[in-house]
Structure formats: structure tokens, C-alpha cells
Amino acid sequence: MSKPILFLNGPNLNMLGVREPDIYGATTLAEIKQISENQAEKHGLKIEFRQSNFEGELVGWIQEAVEKFDGIIINPAAYTHTSVAILDALKMVKGPVIELHISNPHTRESFRHTSYVSLAATGTIAGFGIAGYRLAVDAMAELLR
């Protein structure tokens, strides 16, 4: 029997809509959650959508995915560029791991050019704005087919 997909969002993504709208747009995380769930439904997938500002909480949730979820989509936000702990947790996940960014970090400050998460990711979606959330669900459906 198939399990749900864990969809994680890191620090400051709860502030979407307010936070640097020139980079991240005007859509709120609640709206993005709805968009992602609708897209998952089209593929017959269930997603569990969560956000945290705390590294340890994200690590705990990734550990949960080892048993309870078929794959992870994660926008690790700033932890992308700093967190060995999140990388190590993701390495335990057997199913697909999709790294997602609203912006394209490679066109931004040089400290955003390194991603620890990429070392554990099946693939990365970046630079498509909020549409990336839909595309990430499509990519997960494709990988699980």
C-alpha cells in the first residue's frame, strides 16, 4: 500500500506573502499548501505539508519519513546552505528526495551557491517561483510511477 509524501518547508517560509515579495511573490504558505494538495490529488497522491523554523524539528520529521512516507519534497530554505544535520537525515530516506526552491539560489549571493541538501537529493527544482511547488509534486508522481 502506498504511503503519503512528506512536504517540508524550512525557516521563514511561514512568512511568504510578506517576506521579500520581489523575490518570493505574494502567495501565502497556506495558499501554497492548498495548491500542492490539489496537485497531489490529481496524481492520486496524499501529501503531509509542514513548516518549521527549527532545524531539529525538521530533522525529526525527516526521520519519521524513513518508515512512514514514500518520499520527501523539501524546501529547506536557509538550512539548504548550512545544515549537515538535515543532509544526514535525508540520507536515511529510501524513497525520492526532491529539493525545492522558489528562487534560483545560483543567481543570488555566493553563500547560496552551496547546497548540502543536494548531496542527498534525487533532483532539484529551483527558480520557477511558486509554480515550483506544483512541479515538485508532478516530479514526485513521475518518480513513484
User: Per-residue x/- marks for ligand DQA, 72-101, CB under 6 A?
Assistant: ---x-xx-x--------------------x
Note whether 29 and 10 are within 8 A (CB): no
Note whether 115 and 81 are within 8 A (CB): yes
Please confirm, yes or no, whether 133 is among the known catalytic residues: no
Residue 23: all three cell numbers together? 523575490
Radius of gyration of the chain (CA): 14
| Rounded least distance, CB 3 to ligand DQA, Å | 25
Report the alpha-carbon distance of residue 88 to residue 112 in Å, rounded.
19
Please confirm, yes or no, whether 43 is among the known catalytic residues: no
Residue 15: all three cell numbers together? 512568512
Binding flag, residue 43, ligand DQA (CB under 6 A):
no
Closer Cβ to ligand DQA, 66 or 107, answer by number: 107
| Interface positions with ligand DQA (CB under 6 A) | 12, 75, 77-78, 80, 101-103, 105, 112
